[in-house]
Amino acid sequence: MRLPKVREIGEALRSFFSAPYTTKYPAGPSASFPAYRGLPRYDKDHCVGCGTCAQVCPSQAIEADDDVPGKVRRLRVDFGSCIQCGQCAEQCITGKGILNTDEYSLAVKDVAAPAAFETVEKELVLCECCGQVIACREHLLWIKERLGAKAFAHPTLLLAAERLLAEVEPSKPKSRLRREDQIKEACARCRQRIVTIDDFSGTGSPGL
Ligand code: SF4
Ligand code: SF4
């Protein structure tokens, strides 16, 4: 019985003079363990606004909202719903658009406060023929880069890049399409109509 008591006294003395194992969190910071998979954050330089992360999120914590008049796509992660599974980062098409950080604190005074969300905004490209959303400009440029020389076969991809170089106002949506509308940023449906049907020929479908 005596020996355990001596050991306990030794342990007590060692603990008394060594640094505490516990932290003062939340009064002070507490570092995460290495490789901790925490809250996701967007990397604005590598996110192209494709929306894949919102589609694969199992808890539907990511919302993709298109402001068509403003030509902006907003992707927003609600940290209150995020289960930190890492699917968004794993399935991101660029591999670097969103990454899990080592942040873990969800404590906010107001659940609607900006600190409770992670947001990224990207410019939308609208179809010049019908006004529907085509994709985010950076997404089109990313596809163009990957296609290389093959991108020259697609006017929308070329125009997406050229509009960065010059201030060219997109034309207004129109009710009838002709072959001259080829060189426009057009959605897949309108491009199919431009290529296969000339509305003025009388054989095409009526206006949009
Ligand atoms: S590029 Fe990645 S982070 Fe950005 S919207 Fe697409 S999947 Fe999400
Ligand atoms: S970590 Fe998982 S739950 Fe959180 S936003 Fe990404 S996919 Fe959704």
Q: How many domains does the chain have?
A: 2
Ligand nearest to the CA of 135: 1
Any atom of ligand 2 within 6 Å of the Cβ of 38: no
Same domain, 89 and 134: no
Distances (CA, A) of 98 to 13, 38, 73, 107, 125: 48, 12, 16, 22, 22
CB 127 within 8 A of CB 36: no
Same domain, 104 and 142: no
For the segment 49-72, the average pLDDT, to the nearest whole number, is 97
Same domain, 173 and 106: no
Closest CA to 156 of 128, 198, 131: 128
Averaged pLDDT score across all residues of the chain:
88
Atom number, ligand 1, closest to the C-alpha of residue 54: 8
CA–centroid distance, residue 48 to ligand 1 (Å):
6
CA–centroid distance, residue 181 to ligand 1 (Å):
31
Atom number, ligand 1, closest to the C-alpha of residue 48: 1
Same domain, 154 and 88: no
CA–centroid distance, residue 42 to ligand 2 (Å):
12
- Please write the tens of the pLDDT for every residue from 148-181: 999 888 888 888 877 777 666 667 777 777 777 8
Same domain, 169 and 96: no
Q: Is the pLDDT at 202 greater than 70, yes or no?
A: no
Considering the domain boundaries, does residue 9 fall inside one?
A: no
pTM for this one?
0.81
Strand 62-67 and strand 40-42: pairing?
A: unpaired
Q: Which CATH number is 91's domain given?
A: 3.30.70.3270
Domain termination residue (choose one: 101, 125, 149): 125
Considering the domain boundaries, does residue 173 fall inside one?
A: yes
Domain termination residue (choose one: 106, 125, 144): 125
Same domain, 107 and 140: no
- Its domain, for residue 190, covers 127-208
**From 64-68, 111-115, 140-144, the region with the lowest mean pLDDT:** 111-115
pLDDT of residue 198: 67
Share of the chain above pLDDT 70, in %: 90
- Give the C-alpha separation, 59 to 56, whole Å: 9
Same domain, 76 and 157: no
For the segment 124-143, the average pLDDT, to the nearest whole number, is 93
Q: Is the pLDDT at 54 greater than 50, yes or no?
A: yes
Confidence label for 116 from pLDDT (cuts 50, 70 and 90): very high
For the segment 124-150, the average pLDDT, to the nearest whole number, is 93
Domain termination residue (choose one: 86, 104, 125): 125
